[in-house]
Amino acid sequence: MGLRINGDIFLVTEYSHVKPGKGSAFVRVKLKNVKTQQVLDRTFKTADKLDDVMLEERKLQNLYRSGDGFHFMDATSYEERILSEEVLGDAVKFLQDHLEVTGVCHGDEVLKVVLPTFIIAEVIETEPGFKGDSSRAGTKPSTIDTGVMIQVPLFVNIGDRVKIDTRTGSYVERVNK
């Protein structure tokens, strides 16, 4: 659910209805700004008027990057949309070619892009591993095919495919080809 407050669109992340013994009921709401990711805690009384914003989720497929724009195809209408790096935010780090993402839209405007929780990426640069290294022996820096540097276990080599959690940017496991 989305709300418009002072011209900005906020997503409701948590809410609780409170009915005290004395006085009127109210709702405590935790809101997150779609564009700036700022989190607000607000309290609304039953008499307060709120401006609802209709938000919809659409499947978008990353096509390519040109200059400072990222080209996506809407999976339902097959229209091409160009999104800026500001709209994508931190999602740029894990954006692969032909990756399907979820776009949070208001009308025809894409407000936010949500990556899948996990992606499979190829390690393109890392120090060589040594035989006998175990997963608990430590980590080393590696660069994946999106250009981001992550920490991986010592046994991971160049050309290995790894599963990465896009929420934290951390290594999950090595994936067989």
Q: What is the pLDDT of residues 21-60, one digit of tens each?
A: 888 889 999 998 887 788 989 888 888 888 888 888 899 9
Same fold, 56-114 and 118-175: yes
| Three-point CA angle 17, 19, 25, nearest 5° | 80
The answer to whether 96 touches 62, Cβ cutoff 8 Å, is yes
Record: fold of 118-175 = OB fold (Dihydrolipoamide Acetyltransferase, E2P) (2.40.50)
pLDDT 10s digits, 49-64: 888 888 888 999 999 8
**In CATH, which superfamily holds the domain spanning 56-114?**
Nucleic acid-binding proteins (2.40.50.140)
Name residue 84's beta-bridge partners. 69
* Three-class DSSP category at 85: helix
96-to-16, 60, 165 alpha-carbon distances in Å: 38, 12, 14
- Give the C-alpha separation, 99 to 164, whole Å: 14
What pTM value is reported for the model? 0.72
Hey, what amino acid is at 100? E
Of the candidates 76, 77, 95, the residue with the CA atom closest to the CA atom of residue 85: 95
- Give the C-alpha separation, 118 to 72, whole Å: 19
Q: How confident is the model at residue 128 (pLDDT cuts 50, 70, 90)?
A: confident
| CATH number for the segment(s) 2-53 | 2.30.30.30
* Sole residue written with tokens 């032909």: 98
